[in-house]
Amino acid sequence: MASGFFALLDDIAALMDDVSVMSKVAAKKTAGILGDDLAVNAEKASGFMSSRELPVLWSITKGSFLNKLIILPIAFLLSAFLPVAVTVILLIGGLYLAYEGAEKIYEFLVPHAHGDEEEALQNLSKEELMSLEKERVKSAILTDFILSIEIVIIALGTVAQETLTMQIIVVSIIALIATVGVYGIVALLVRMDEFGLKLIDLNEKEDSFSDKVGKFLIAALPKVIKSLSVIGTIALLLVSGGLFVHNIDFVHHLVEGFPSVLGEFVVGLVVGFVVLFIIIGIKKAWKSIKQS
């Protein structure tokens, strides 16, 4: 009886060792997309009122957990019984990410009445602001869903030859890291200014070390947010471009002479603007039909 118990412990220890090794391999494979995920979600989670930053971030985090709960079982089933569907889903997600990235560039290049927008936001009622917040949270969760699909699929690919038990454990660990790790860092980033204020109030001495660090964090936050917006846009295009380059042979051969990052960015940019102009054309056509 005792020998059987210790044999079970040995089996569990061996499994944990295997899980640890495979998790490290999967983490290395997904490191790039996790970095993109961080940049995109940090940009998505910023720009809210200070008092609403953490509640909004918690809403997005809960949505991210739900995304993983939906994606994981479907990914395991599709990978086992219909692998071609995984590629199709990835490419559809790539179209959406490319569109989002191109739309951000388009809004930056094409003149917009930003001042009027800011004034309009200030004139919104509390109910209207909450409604706008919900829309932005939904958009962030949708983007997280698409990025989560790629993270799960890449992690799954690293353990495709392992047992189903190993696949479930390793991919679930990576999915958990992708949520807790990414949104934990995002929370730290968006609360930099609050942490800076607390450091300044830490003691009554002026120009102390804590004061300097606090003032640095407060001054750095706007620059970090702007940087995240740029990095997040580039990340969207890189991720989407990578999906097409790695899953469509024709596209892969078109850019194989380019450095990999440049090739993926160019593909994401071209696809994004094609989708953007199609959607703009559809919107204009629909508007003219409604007016006629």
Q: Which domain holds residue 266?
A: 2-110+138-195+224-291
* Better-predicted residue by pLDDT, 48 or 282: 282
Number of domains in the chain: 1
Residue 218 included in any domain: no
Each residue of 135-170: pLDDT tens digit? 888 888 888 888 788 788 777 777 767 777 777 888
Each residue of 234-272: pLDDT tens digit? 888 888 888 899 888 999 898 888 888 899 999 999 999
Q: How far apart are CA 234 and CA 265, in angstroms?
A: 8
Q: In the numeric block, which tokens belong to residue 203?
A: 């003691």
Mean pLDDT, rounded, for 27-37: 58
Residue 118 included in any domain: no
Residue among 267, 266, 231 nearest 247 (CA) = 267
Q: At what angle do helices 209-247 and 192-200 cross, to 10 degrees?
A: 170
Residue 122 included in any domain: no
Each residue of 59-104: pLDDT tens digit? 888 888 899 899 888 888 887 788 788 778 878 888 988 898 898 8
Q: In the numeric block, which tokens belong to residue 162?
A: 């392992």
Q: Output the pLDDT for position 113.
A: 52
* Better-predicted residue by pLDDT, 223 or 118: 223
Residue 215 included in any domain: no
Residue 11 included in any domain: yes
Q: How far apart are CA 258 and CA 267, in angstroms?
A: 11
Q: Output the pLDDT for position 15.
A: 46
Residue 219 included in any domain: no
